[in-house]
């Protein structure tokens, strides 16, 4: 089964029938990359709701809820909003840092001091380090800790994947095509390289906030 973003969107929205829902659940159990994409979608939905707090009983609540549900009818590959990107668009932040395009997925690359500090210290979702932010963290199949990050400069942006080994953090994948509009939406087809790298790394689902804070306090050493 191909777990594309449209299918994952329907799964997340409980729009599949019982058999399809079960089939996707079974496929997710063996597809680490798809699990991470699904978790990114869930985090995006949580960030959207958090950015638009509505008092209980507010007369606009039903209307806003309906608008959000209408937005879900579009394929999620056209509308996925990363939590940090949503926060940046709401706050009107202008990012000022981006890894050079040459530091690409073709081989390992050591991060510069700014990115290394963000990877060491920043919780997922925080916009820090001259516009660089971490989207999520997970433990790869070989035991290394890995972090999906985003870096942006002016109108350009990209996603990268860094894993921590004995020599420190190494950027193992970088995709400068994962641009985000001012509305916080990713372009169709963006992030395929990163998703593929995640699938290759395998491993556990994305860490929750508590696990991530504990790993940061340990300096990303194994417990």
Domain assignment present for 222: no
pLDDT tens string 202-214: 777 788 888 999 9
- Look at residues 203, 202, 150, 173 and name the one whose alpha carbon lies nearest to residue 43: 150
pLDDT tens string 9-24: 889 888 889 999 999 9
Domain assignment present for 29: yes
Domain assignment present for 79: yes
Whether residue 6 contacts residue 172, with contact meaning beta carbons closer than 8 Å, is answered with no
**How many separate domains does the chain show?**
1
The reported pTM is: 0.53
In the predicted structure, residue 155 carries a pLDDT above the cut 80 = no
68 or 158, greater pLDDT: 158
Domain assignment present for 73: yes
Residue 143 domain boundaries: 5-217
Q: How far is CA 91 from the centre of its chain?
A: 19
Tokens representing residue 14 in the block: 């409980």
| Interatomic CA distance for residues 138 and 147, integer angstroms | 6
């Amino acid at each position: 089964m191909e777990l594309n973003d449209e299918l994952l969107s329907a799964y997340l929205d409980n729009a599949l029938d019982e058999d399809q829902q079960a089939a996707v659940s079974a496929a997710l159990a063996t597809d680490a990359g798809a699990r991470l994409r699904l978790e990114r979608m869930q985090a995006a939905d949580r960030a959207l709701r958090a950015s638009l707090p509505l008092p209980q009983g507010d007369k606009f609540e039903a209307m806003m809820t309906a608008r959000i549900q209408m937005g879900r009818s579009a394929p999620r590959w056209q509308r996925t909003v990363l939590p940090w990107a949503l926060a940046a668009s709401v706050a009107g932040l202008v990012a000022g840092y981006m890894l050079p395009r040459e530091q690409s997925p073709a081989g390992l690359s050591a991060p510069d001091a700014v990115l290394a500090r963000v990877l060491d210290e920043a919780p997922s979702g925080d916009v820090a380090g001259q516009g660089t932010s971490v989207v999520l963290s997970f433990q790869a199949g070989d035991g290394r800790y890995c972090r999906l990050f985003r870096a942006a400069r002016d109108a350009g942006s990209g996603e990268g994947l860094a894993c921590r080994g004995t020599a420190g953090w190494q950027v193992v994948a970088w995709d400068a095509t994962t641009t985000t509009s001012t509305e916080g939406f990713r372009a169709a087809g963006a992030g395929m390289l990163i998703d593929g790298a995640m699938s290759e790394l395998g491993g556990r689902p994305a860490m929750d906030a508590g696990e991530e804070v504990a790993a940061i306090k340990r300096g990303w050493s194994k417990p």
